[in-house]
Amino acid sequence: MNLAVIEPTTSWYLVLAAVLFGIGTVGVMVRRNPLVMFMCIELMLNAVNLSFVALSASLSDINGQTAVFFVLVVAAAEVVVGLGIIVSIMRRRSDATADDLSVLKG
Amino acid sequence: MLENAWLIPALPLAGFIIIFLFGRRLGEPRAGVLATLMTAGSFVVTVGVFFALLSRASEDRHHVVTLFTWLPVGSLHIDMAILIDPLSVTMALFITGIGALIHLYAIGYMHGDPKFSKFFLYLNLFIFSMLMLVLGENLLVTFLGWEGVGACSYFLISFWHTRDSAATAGKKAFVTNRVGDWGVMIAMFMAFSAVGTLSYSGINEAAESGQLAAVTATGIALMLFIGACGKSAQLPLYLWLPDAMEGPTPVSALIHAATMVTSGVFLMTRMNPVLHVSYHWVMTIIAVVGAATALFAATVAVAQTDIKKVLAYSTVSQLGFMFLAIGSGAYVAAIFHMVTHAFFKALLFLGSGAVIHGMHHQQDMRKMGALRKVMPITAMTFIVGWLAIAGVPPFAGFWSKDEILLYVYANNRGLYLVGVVTALLTAYYMTRQVIMVFYGEARWHDQSEEHGAHGDATPHESPWIMLAPLVVLSGLAIGGGLLQLPFSSKTHFLEHWLEPVIESGERNIDGTWASDNKYLLLLVAVVIACLGIAGAIAVYAKKKAPALEPAILANGWMYDSSVSRFMGGPGRTAFSGVARFDAGVVDGAVNGVARVVGSTSNALRKVQTGFVRFYAAILGLGVVMLLAWFLLRGVL
Amino acid sequence: MVLVGAVGVITRNNPVHAALSLVLTLFGIAVLFVANNAHFLAAVQVIVYAGAIVVLFLFVIMLLGVDQAEDLSTEPLTAQRPLALVVGIGVAGVIIAAIVKSQDALLVRGTGINSATLEDADANIRQLSRSIFSDYVFAFEVTSVLLLIAVVGTVVMSRRQRGQHVEESA
């Protein structure tokens, strides 16, 4: 079978991005280790990047890629800060999980 | 001059404020002098206003001075305004005039009292409130004054508040008045809903022009009469007046003889067009209540031993006369009697105050006697007052009482008989009082022996500051009758003066048997007075017959005690029931709402688990729902 | 590859394993970028994301000793798992539905980026850079400031207070 015939259309990429996004969401809600939760957030960001790029290719607009560029930069900054926070928290107890931060309990 | 009429209530108000701020520094006697000057000044302005009004033609004597807009609320527009017309000026004249005299007297009477300045504070406030009552242009300003005099009455009756009986009497006065005030308020609501305004001219014009339905007018009249019963101590609600004698005598003279108690009579006269348009049985009720009160109080006065209590019941009785007059359509006679009563009752009260003062605060008449030898001037003025109230010509009381009896005869002969019996009793008990106090043997020697340690316990004459008002008032009691002499229409001064106010309500008795035979009725009145006096002299001076003072009369026909028993017993049960209802149902409803809110929020609190992941899950759920909604709406 | 990596991230107990799965996903995404003619971005993705960020993750994991395996068999919060499942499927589903609905608009796959006039292999870079440094130059400057702030903030936040005993981790 000639695989080249099955040309992936834009919607395929978008669907993939959607699924990736869903997986990331589930991961945020299910995992308790803060670092892994963060990684799932990164998954979601990547899904968004993918959809940006796919649409930029289909609409012949460079602005989509510019957006991805900036998302990448901001994601990097966000990771830095987030990890800093996690480090501050984890310093006290190395097995702290997201469930321990329940001070806001009404 | 008429434009400056606002000064009339403003001066006593200024006195009140100044004494309020500086009373302690002013001290005795300057606080008293200030208060007296303010009231006297008010009197001077009133005289000026009187002459200004006199210079106008009779139909034109109606002037409104608007001070400011008080309540512009929707369709209700009430101004703080003063109405200058013959009735209000008449009332203001004797309020400020007699008020000034009583202020002067009080400077002497309250000498040495630690709360001297406070007394004059309240007195000035009272004069102000009373003036607002009579000068008001609409029912609300009058009500302001109405409540004000009620409050001042409470302050002044319980002035010596360390005495339990005084404090209780003050409370009783206030509470009983309150029942009457309810009536006035209902009347105001009715008037507003029927006519749309509370001003007298508005209401009275509506009544005269036929806009006011008879049913509404009846309701308003009845409610106002209830208020008048409370304030003017008529039969169901008179209880507070005898107890009010706990207050210092100047208070009794001012409030409970000359001014506050006459508010009811004034209100009825002011609203006479409304009374005229209401059902006829309303007037009959007023007349019957007045007559019954007059007779009742007269019988009780016969058996009293406290010098002030006799005068208190006498006041109730005379007020009954005034309401009898109103019920018979004789507004002029009622006002006439109000004025002469103010003169001689104030005179009698101030005289009794001089006696009490001279007897070192002894008030029991059985311990007095032959005081005319030690207090000649007091005795002389008191005798003038006695003759006036007993109805002996040519003193003032005779003319006014006769005028009333004339109209009553034309209205209802049964009530006339009641009036005549009451006049007889009035002469009788007043003579009894005069004999017991000023004549006979001196029974105060025993007392002075007991109180020998006090030094000179012999009764003495009062200082000039207390005697001067007595002399002035006795002059007025003598000459007051000139206001309205029945001889011919030309001597009907008061009637002509008051004509624009009462023309619609005043009953016309020309052509009735009473009017044609008025000299005969005049003679009957004189005979009755002489009979009463003779009877009392026979019993008390000549000791020809035994004194009839049954205990039941002394106890006021047990009315007061039965009311107290009722209020304490079934009354209290009913009231606690109401209070329980209020606490349970009303408060319960309010608290219940709070409780429901609390428990709901408690339940809702569980949503805040504190777990971040849970929040994330809910967030996600929200996002899904939002996106689904957009999708379904076709936006996506 | 992408999906395998993603599932691996969310299901691996060991955080290190999860991080490695993430790398897998990121590589897959980079490949997909290339397929969409976003060459520059693919390179940046590999260098920055997979190279720097995941390494940062691994550093933190190692330094703090949080490599204990998380117990995924239990879930302290009731209804969390089903809820998460619902939300995940819901999100994916809604977006897919939206995509399906607007199929027609997306069917055309343009080739505009690879314009016929450009023969250079790095035409993508040129276009991208032109866009960044003319239309979005302000945003570019701001992001550089943002990076600075992030670094400074994190250092301030996680430094040890004076006098605090420095713990040695294994």
pLDDT (0 to 100) of residue B68: 84
pLDDT over 90 percentage in chain B: 3
What is the mean pLDDT of the segment spanning B51-57?
A: 83
* CA nearest to C31, candidates C20, C42, C21: C42
DSSP code of C69? Answer: P
Using an 8 Å Cβ cutoff, are C79 and B607 in contact?
no
* CA nearest to B627, candidates C83, C151, C113, C99: C99
| Contact (CB<8Å) A53/C88 | no
Of the listed ranges B271-275, B300-304, B523-527, C128-132, the least confidently predicted one is C128-132
Q: What are phi and psi of A57, to 5 degrees?
A: -65, -40
Q: Which two tokens stand for residue C37?
A: 């003619």
> Is C82 an 8 Å CB contact of chain B?
no
Higher pLDDT, B447 or B421: B421
| CATH code of the domain containing C52 | 1.20.120.1200
The SS3 call for residue B65 is: strand
| Contact (CB<8Å) A104/B608 | yes
Mutating which of B601, B604, B608, B611 best tests the A interface, going by the most A Cβ atoms within 10 A?
A: B611
CB contacts, 8 Å: C165 with chain A? none
* CA nearest to C40, candidates A68, B550, B326: A68
Kindly list the distances between the CA atom of residue B618 and the CA atoms of A97, A101, B408, C80, C86, in Å, as whole numbers in the listed order: 19, 17, 89, 10, 11
- CB pairs A-C closer than 8 Å: 240
Using an 8 Å Cβ cutoff, are B137 and B80 in contact?
no
Whether A2 is in a domain gets the answer no
Domain end: C48, C70, C92, which one?
Answer: C70
User: Which of C80, C81, C157 has the CB atom closest to A88's CB atom?
Assistant: C157
DSSP lists the bridge partners of residue B479 as none
Whether A103 is in a domain gets the answer no
CB contacts, 8 Å: C85 with chain A? 26
| Contact (CB<8Å) A11/C60 | no
CA distance B250 to A35: 93
pLDDT (0 to 100) of residue A74: 92
pLDDT (0 to 100) of residue C111: 46
Q: Give the confidence band of A4 by pLDDT, cuts at 50, 70, 90.
A: low
pLDDT (0 to 100) of residue C131: 76
Number of domains in chain A: 1
Of the listed ranges B44-48, B271-275, C129-133, the least confidently predicted one is C129-133
pLDDT by residue (tens digit) across C58-115? 888 887 766 566 666 666 666 677 888 888 888 888 888 888 777 766 555 544 444 4
DSSP code of B461? Answer: P
pLDDT (0 to 100) of residue B128: 92
pLDDT (0 to 100) of residue A96: 66
pLDDT tops 80 at residue B414: yes
pLDDT by residue (tens digit) across B221-274? 888 888 888 888 888 788 788 888 888 888 888 887 777 778 888 888 888 888
Q: Are residues C1 and C64 in the same domain?
A: yes
Containing H/E element for B104? helix B86-109
pLDDT tops 60 at residue C164: no
* CA nearest to A31, candidates B106, B393, C74: C74
Whether C47 is in a domain gets the answer yes
pLDDT (0 to 100) of residue C61: 84
Longest dimension (CA), chain C: 66
pLDDT (0 to 100) of residue A49: 93
Q: B511 CB contacts (<8 Å, ≥6 apart)? A: none
Question: How many CB atoms are located within 10 Å of the residue B505 CB?
Answer: 23
What is the mean pLDDT of the segment spanning B378-397?
A: 85
Kindly list the distances between the CA atom of residue B601 and the CA atoms of B321, B588, B598, B607, in Å, as whole numbers in the listed order: 67, 19, 5, 10
* CA nearest to C95, candidates A23, A8, A67: A23
CA distance B602 to chain A (A): 9
The subunits that touch chain A, with at least 3 C-beta pairs less than 8 Å apart, are B, C
Number of domains in chain C: 2
CA distance A70 to chain B (A): 24
pLDDT by residue (tens digit) across B600-611? 888 888 777 777
Higher pLDDT, B521 or C150: C150
Mutating which of A14, A21, A23, A25 best tests the B interface, going by the most B Cβ atoms within 10 A?
A: A25
User: Which of C80, C83, C98 has the CB atom closest to B631's CB atom?
Assistant: C98
Whether C90 is in a domain gets the answer no
pLDDT (0 to 100) of residue C77: 65
CA distance B191 to B203: 7
Question: How many CB atoms are located within 10 Å of the residue A48 CB?
Answer: 17
DSSP lists the bridge partners of residue C163 as none
> Is C48 an 8 Å CB contact of chain B?
no
CA distance B404 to B409: 9
CA distance C90 to chain A (A): 8
| Contact (CB<8Å) C77/B611 | yes
Q: What are phi and psi of B83, to 5 degrees?
A: -105, 120
Sign of CA dihedral B440, B446, B449, B452: negative
What is the mean pLDDT of the segment spanning B276-300?
A: 87
| Contact (CB<8Å) C95/A84 | no
DSSP B546-588: -----HHHHTGGGHHHHHHHHIIIIIHHHHHHHHHHIIIIIHH
Whether A101 is in a domain gets the answer no
Containing H/E element for B84? strand B76-84
Higher pLDDT, C162 or B434: B434
Q: List the alpha helices (DSSP H) in B439-517.
A: 445-450, 464-479, 493-502, 513-516
| Contact (CB<8Å) B608/A99 | no
Sign of CA dihedral B512, B517, B521, B524: negative
CB contacts, 8 Å: A63 with chain C? 131, 135
Q: Give the confidence band of C126 by pLDDT, cuts at 50, 70, 90.
A: confident
| Contact (CB<8Å) A99/B620 | no
Give me the domain span that covers residue A80: 8-96
Give me the domain span that covers residue C138: 120-161
Higher pLDDT, B232 or B489: B232
| Contact (CB<8Å) A25/C136 | no
* CA nearest to B367, candidates B457, B283, B286: B457
* CA nearest to B515, candidates B401, B399, B411: B411
User: Which of C49, C61, C147 has the CB atom closest to A35's CB atom?
Assistant: C61
Using an 8 Å Cβ cutoff, are A31 and A37 in contact?
yes
CA distance A92 to A94: 7
What is the mean pLDDT of the segment spanning B565-585?
A: 77
Whether A3 is in a domain gets the answer no
| Mean pLDDT score of chain A | 82
Whether A104 is in a domain gets the answer no
B558 Rama class: left (phi>0) / alpha (psi -120 to 50) / beta: left
Q: Give the confidence band of B445 by pLDDT, cuts at 50, 70, 90.
A: low
Higher pLDDT, B477 or B289: B289
CA distance B599 to chain C (A): 24
pLDDT by residue (tens digit) across A19-62? 999 999 888 888 878 888 888 999 999 999 999 998 888 877 78
| Contact (CB<8Å) B611/A28 | no
DSSP code of B254? Answer: I
Q: What are phi and psi of B364, to 5 degrees?
A: -85, 125
> Looking at chain A from residue 19 to 48, which residues have their Cβ under 8 Å from any Cβ of chain C?
19-27, 29-33, 35-36, 38-40, 42-43, 46
pLDDT tops 60 at residue C170: no
CA distance B40 to B36: 6
Containing H/E element for B628? helix B612-633
Taking each helix axis from N to C end, the angle separating B116-135 and B139-157, rounded to the nearest 10 degrees, works out to: 160
Kindly list the distances between the CA atom of residue B47 and the CA atoms of A35, B53, B223, B337, in Å, as whole numbers in the listed order: 98, 10, 34, 21
Place of tokens 């007075």: B529
pLDDT (0 to 100) of residue C113: 47
CA angle C14/C15/C17 to nearest 5° reads 70
pLDDT tops 90 at residue B568: no
| Entry pTM | 0.65
Q: Which two tokens stand for residue B495?
A: 């009637």
The subunits that touch chain B, with at least 3 C-beta pairs less than 8 Å apart, are A, C
pLDDT (0 to 100) of residue B67: 83
What is the mean pLDDT of the segment spanning B435-445?
A: 77
CB contacts, 8 Å: B627 with chain A? none
Longest dimension (CA), chain B: 119
Q: C122 CB contacts (<8 Å, ≥6 apart)? A: C39, C40
Using an 8 Å Cβ cutoff, are C25 and C9 in contact?
yes
CA distance B134 to A29: 81
Q: Following CA atoms A6, A7, A8, A9 in sequence, which dihedral angle do they give, to the nearest 10 degrees?
A: -120
| CATH code of the domain containing A82 | 1.10.287.3510
CA distance A91 to chain B (A): 20
CA angle C4/C10/C12 to nearest 5° reads 85
What is the mean pLDDT of the segment spanning B355-360?
A: 82
pLDDT over 70 percentage in chain B: 91
Using an 8 Å Cβ cutoff, are B419 and B371 in contact?
no
Q: Which amino acid makes up residue B67? A: L
Q: Which amino acid makes up residue A100? A: D
The subunits that touch chain C, with at least 3 C-beta pairs less than 8 Å apart, are A, B
DSSP code of B159? Answer: S
pLDDT tops 70 at residue B589: yes
| Contact (CB<8Å) C52/A58 | no
pLDDT tops 60 at residue C117: no
pLDDT (0 to 100) of residue C29: 92
| Contact (CB<8Å) A104/B616 | no
Q: Which amino acid makes up residue B282? A: V
Place of tokens 């001219």: B201
What is the mean pLDDT of the segment spanning B467-473?
A: 85
Question: How many CB atoms are located within 10 Å of the residue A89 CB?
Answer: 16
> Is A77 an 8 Å CB contact of chain C?
yes
The residues on B that touch C, with CB distances below 8 Å, are: 609, 611, 613-614, 617, 620-621, 623-624, 627-628, 631, 636
What is the CA A54 to chain-centroid distance, rounded?
A: 16
Q: C2 CB contacts (<8 Å, ≥6 apart)? A: A16, A20, C25, C28, C29, C32
Of the listed ranges B104-118, B176-190, B479-493, the least confidently predicted one is B479-493
Q: Which two tokens stand for residue B174?
A: 């206030």
Residues in chain A: 106
pLDDT (0 to 100) of residue C74: 66
Q: Which two tokens stand for residue C62?
A: 């190692």
CA angle B187/B192/B198 to nearest 5° reads 90
| Mean pLDDT score of chain B | 82
What is the CA A104 to chain-centroid distance, rounded?
A: 26
Of the listed ranges A96-105, B53-62, B369-378, the least confidently predicted one is A96-105
Using an 8 Å Cβ cutoff, are C28 and C1 in contact?
yes
pLDDT tops 80 at residue B481: no
pLDDT over 90 percentage in chain A: 23
DSSP lists the bridge partners of residue B434 as none
